[in-house]
Amino acid sequence: MKCYAKDLVVRNADDEVIVSVDELAVDTGGTTSISGPSGSGKTTLLYCLSGLIKPDEGVVNWEEHNVTTMAGNKLNKFRRENIGFIFQSPFLFDELDPLSNVTIHSAFNTNLSKEAVNEKAKELLDLFKVPLKGRKTASVLSGGEKQRLSMARGLVNNPKIILADEPTASLDKKNSKILMDCLLSYHKDYSPTLVVVSHDSSVLSRFTNNLSLNQRREADA
């Protein structure tokens, strides 16, 4: 799904500009990274692209869908059906096993049968190298495995758009590479539109298109 954002401005409670982007375009199935120092507005911009935050000025269009004017059930439906959002920190149910962590929300978010959802979840857990055997609950997974499990859960509904906020921020170099290898392998197979926020040069080097937010602002990104 193609993204086009123009003249985006977000201000904080003191009316200070924390994000200012003239233009951002991502083709259907394309990949783009967003970089910049802490406080430059990277995460805020990603939230604008997802509809989680409304900009004070400008528009964000995913093809004919303007998420800056959507609200309520219409926005929720669009996000549920089209966007897989990967947060910086994994939000997991530690008492559940990896498979249940992936499938738990799908009963409400997809028209697939329970059997189809389980098969898709197992496929993603295999792709993202999360072990099913011998790991009864998510609480015993390593940090890298937890982050990959969180990513698998965000993709179980086959989103057309993936928005990932600093997915490797808490990982060491080895686990960062594993996660990005898995994510880009998924992109190669399914061709969603992919936007990744990162300050990690090893992550950014894997993207040919980059939007750099160089100006540090008062609010944290």
Taking the C-alpha atoms of residue 217 and residue 198, their distance in angstroms, rounded to an integer, is 17
Q: Which of 94, 90, 91, 92 is nearest to 136 (CA)?
A: 94
User: What is the per-residue pLDDT for 9?
Assistant: 96
Task: Please give the distance of CA 176 from its chain centroid, rounded to a whole number.
Answer: 15
User: What is the per-residue pLDDT for 135?
Assistant: 66
User: What is the per-residue pLDDT for 111?
Assistant: 66
User: What is the per-residue pLDDT for 74?
Assistant: 95
Taking the C-alpha atoms of residue 218 and residue 197, their distance in angstroms, rounded to an integer, is 19
User: What is the per-residue pLDDT for 131?
Assistant: 86
Taking the C-alpha atoms of residue 151 and residue 129, their distance in angstroms, rounded to an integer, is 11
For the entire predicted model, the pTM comes to 0.90
Ranges in the chain, pLDDT < 50: 216-221
- Structure tokens belonging to residue 220: 């944290």
User: What is the per-residue pLDDT for 221?
Assistant: 33
User: What is the per-residue pLDDT for 132?
Assistant: 81
Domains of the chain (ranges, CATH numbers): 3-212 (3.40.50.300)
